[in-house]
Amino acid sequence: MSPHAARVLIASEQPLFLDGLEALLRQQRDTEVVARCAGDDETVRRVRELRPDVAVLDVDLPRRDGLRVVRRIVEEPADTRVVLFTADADDDTLLEAVRLGVRGVLLKSIASPVVAQCVREVHAGGYWLEKRMTTLALRKMVRREAAARRLSAAGLTPRELQIARLAGQGLQNLGIGAKLRISPATVKIHLHKIYRKLGLSGRIALMVYARDNDLV
């Protein structure tokens, strides 16, 4: 084992996946598996205790709470770099992962040697993000930021922009209020202001506008 080996924590709810990942990483002279975890609470606790260099997490990103464990880990003072293993990820979730500080994203369809390469790169301070996924996601982010600038120029406040995006996705007032922790009545007031500022007739028109202007 190299004295500069990456100390790696691995986590998954699937024992067979953990077995395969552990076996693969233990074959590498520059990688030391210091813990394997089966749940979010255990993963966060072991990160806090062991302060591994890299945490490789098997995460179902399309799930609504897929990034919950990542948010908890980045709040720890351990300075652990996170790599996500996932079967799939939508653009929004991938962008949120990058914003949270995730250093690597691996699709489960990749060849085994790529895993070790990713861990080395992330341990050395680099990034390993699946090109197809990140290219599409970053293009979408650029379009959204351009759309946000246009809406700001139209006089929409940051809160109104949030509500316009959520309404554009088809969420009703109750769902928007739950996401933003405001009342449905407040959402309704903001929506009427948005319609007026953008010259729209109502919610359907806003949904069409959001689609045509890359808000969603």
Residue with tokens 């799939």, as numbered in its chain: 88
Beta-bridge mates of residue 9: 35, 55
| Residue 212 pLDDT class (50, 70, 90 cuts) | confident
Q: Give the model confidence (pLDDT) of 105-152 as tens digits.
A: 888 888 888 899 999 999 998 888 765 555 555 566 656 665 666 666
User: In angstroms, rounded to a whole number, what is the distance separating the alpha carbons of residues 18 and 71?
Assistant: 22
* pTM for this model (two decimals): 0.61
CA distance 167 to 159: 12
For 99, residues 6+ apart whose C-beta sits below 8 A from its C-beta are: none
In the chain, CATH 3.40.50.2300 covers 6-135
Over residues 143-188, the pLDDT tens digits come to 666 566 666 657 888 898 889 889 988 889 998 999 899 999 999 9
The yes/no answer on whether domain 154-212 falls in CATH 2.40.30.30 is: no
Higher-scoring residue by pLDDT: 210, 153: 210
Rounded percentage of the chain residues whose pLDDT exceeds 70: 82
Cβ atoms of residues 78 and 101 within 8 Å = no
Which residues touch 65 (CB under 8 Å, ≥6 apart)? none
In the chain, which segments carry CATH 1.10.10.10? 154-212
More confident: 96 or 160: 160
The residue length of the chain stands at 216
What's the rounded Cα separation, in Å, for the pair 170 and 53?
Answer: 41
Question: Among 31, 23, 39, which residue's Cα sits nearest to residue 1?
Answer: 31
Share of the chain above pLDDT 90, in %: 36
Strand partners of residue 207? none
Q: State which amino acid sits at residue 145.
A: E
Q: What is the CATH number of domain 6-135?
A: 3.40.50.2300
Secondary structure string (H, E, C) spanning the chain: CCCCCEEEEEECCCHHHHHHHHHHHHCCCCEEEEEEECCHHHHHHHHHHHCCCEEEEECCCCCCCCCHHHHHHHCCCCCCEEEEEECCCCHHHHHHHHHHCCCEEEECCCCHHHHHHHHHHHHCCCCEECHHHHHHHHHHHHHHHHHHHHHHHCCCCHHHHHHHHHHHCCCCHHHHHHHHCCCHHHHHHHHHHHHHHHCCCCHHHHHHHHHHCCCC
